[in-house]
Amino acid sequence: MKSQALQEMIKKVFSDEKTKLQFMSNPESVIAQFKLTEQEKTAVLNTHARLGLATADSQQLEAIIEPLSNWL
């Protein structure tokens, strides 16, 4: 199901430099401003821990997504 709160958070991080910097130094303080579910919070923090959410490039993404894409 679509998550309005998650969409709003990503939009804010990617359109507002101040929020992006805040997210990079303290992601939980930005997450707290949006009504994310527990699983969404974990997903954001996991992605950030593995990639650096606001800074990842395509090569870093390729490296982590490849293994799941083999069956379908």
Partner 1 sequence: MWQKRQFELLRDEIAVALASLAEVADLQSLVRQPLSQPRRGLAALSADGRPWPLLPLIVCEAICGSYRHALPAAAAIQLFMAAGDVFDDIEDADSSESLSARYGPAVATNVATTLLSLAEKSITRLKDRGVADSVIVRVTDAVNSFFMSACAGQHLDLSLSSDIAISEDDYLRVVGMKSASQVECACHIGALLANERQELVDIFAKFGHNLGMAAQITNDIRGVTRGSDILEHKNTLPVIYALTQAEGESRKQLELAFRKPSESVADPTQIRDLLFRIGAIHYTTIKTEFYKQLALDNLSEIERHGTSVERLKSFLE
DSSP state of 69: G
How far apart are CB 14 and partner 1 at their closest, in Å? 3
Q: Considering the rule CB under 8 A, would residue 5 count as an interface residue with partner 1? A: no
Structure tokens belonging to residue 37: 């579910």
- R_g of the chain computed on alpha carbons: 13
User: Binders of partner 1 among 22-41, rule CB under 8 A?
Assistant: 39-40
- Of the pair 29, 37, the CB lying nearest partner 1 is at 37
Neighbours of 23 (CB within 10 A): 24
* Among 17, 18, 25, 69, contact with partner 1 (rule: CB under 8 A): 69
